[in-house]
A and B are shown apart, each in its own frame.
Chain A
Amino acid sequence: MSEPLILGIETSCDETGVGIVRGQTLLADAIASSVEEHARFGGVVPEVASRAHLEAMVPTIRRACETAGIKPTDVDAVAVTSGPGLAGALLVGVAAAKGLALSLDKPLYGVNHLAAHVAVDTLEHGDLPKGCVAMLVSGGHSSLLSVEDITDGVEPMGSTIDDAAGEAFDKVARVLGLPFPGGPYIDKAARDGGDRLYVTFPRGLTSQRDLERHRFDFSFSGLKTAVARWVEARRRDGEDVPVNHVAAAFQEAVCDVLTRKAIDACKDRGFEHLLIGGGVAANSRLRSMAEERASAAGIAVRVPRPGLCTDNGAMVAALGSELVRAGRAPSPLDLPADSSMPITEVLNK
């Protein structure tokens, strides 16, 4: 019997993603992004994103099917991000998925966006480890999750108490005069001769006292402010701001805290695997530092390739595929879009 063919739809933010997988094999990952329409506002405008999703939906489905060499009627199940995310944006994807499932008379799976970021790694590295810590870092969240069986649920260990890691990248990029979204530009500036030790920026929630209450939580708001103050002071004194060095030192502070806490979380659970996902997982320094520190601790790191770390439809299809393979019951046709879907809920029943 061949593996199930799953079509996944993602519209939780500004990317319209349609992915197609067979079992754990990626067949297509079509994406339309409205990021350029938002760039001039320095953030995502929900109504602009929702309008773009409606326009992009059918062309993106068509492109995914063409790339995969399938007809929509070949699909065995439809998966869709039903939360968390921007309510109006989610709703477009959920309604589209229902239109497909209804027309094709195939089961519908409303899945959690964060769990999909974890499941996408199956497309790169096969079955997930029996137990692992997943660190999800992006413009929206920074979380440490304990994952035993992704089709069963995930257990949150910690998350950011203020800004998300990716948000800090965006804000610091703005301070440094770099474009939105900030992550890739800061990474590049740092790699272009940035000195990571040029300034030592604060590491949030790492003091002994903070660790008692926030062992696995993050805070990046203080770091962002520290960078902004440092840059302002320089400018006030009429000195040049060494963008590459500041970018590198800021990035170092973020990656230091993320990797330190992620490894501590693995040790706490006795897990030998650390999985990293979300847009910030594309950061080159985060990848290299995680590899270095994990291998010193006897922990294996799994990071999907950058194209799979950012929001896409393939990750939704991948999670849908795991759910189908595990024999989970599908979601009902009155499935709501849940903008604040809790991470403990992998499948909207």
Chain B
Amino acid sequence: MIPFYFSDSQAPLYGVLHEPTDGPFRDKAILFCHPVGHEYFRTYRMVQLLSDKLAKQGYYCLRFDYHGTGDSSGQFDEMNMNTWQQDIIDACDELRSTAGCEQILCIGLRLGAALALKVQPQCYFNELILWDPIFEGQTFLNKLSNLQNKAFRQNWHFSTVRQDSELEENEFLGYRYSTPLTQQLEHLTSSTELMNLSCPCTIIHTDNNDQLSQIKIQNKHNFLILKHINDEGNWFFHKEIDSSISTHNINQFILETLS
């Protein structure tokens, strides 16, 4: 596990490379695209453990923080989806040159999955694994807002009820989403990308999603595989906004799929 900075030296991205340790060396490397906001922290440990295990199966893995998130440079409240999409493109280039692999498999989580879909034409991912991807940005924002309201009104995190007036504009669970980011999220929809997708893509979903079945039917190339895994998602459970998730079944599924 090697942490390093890459991309623009004045505004670097923080990445962690997991080099293959055991097993046959693979001709495919794996790029992880994190969620953002509070979900980033909830999944960090799980992604790290999964990267470790995949490296033991012979894969180069790169996980990295988008600008304004984690240990990368920049302020979250100055970011938007264009910046993060460019970050994925830069990370993909970095992984191709470091690992010496042309083929890249991208594992995207939540908003990271939606971002990965958007940059597929530039990154030429050979395969995608999307875990609970965000298909509709407006729904995501509504759910974030509801989750925050619940956290404010119930005495799990706070001993007194907090008011919305105590928040900054577009502040959701500890992060201020910039106006451009909020507007992009309001218009975000991944259905078109999924219907036109031209590489194999597995969608792991932890809740029942009728929309997915419709998209699968409409995918031109029949590349979509849907996998429902009854594992810990709890993305919108107010008591768990600050706890790490452990997803044994999902990790196991990914490890077996890529073994």
Q: Are both chains from one complex?
A: no
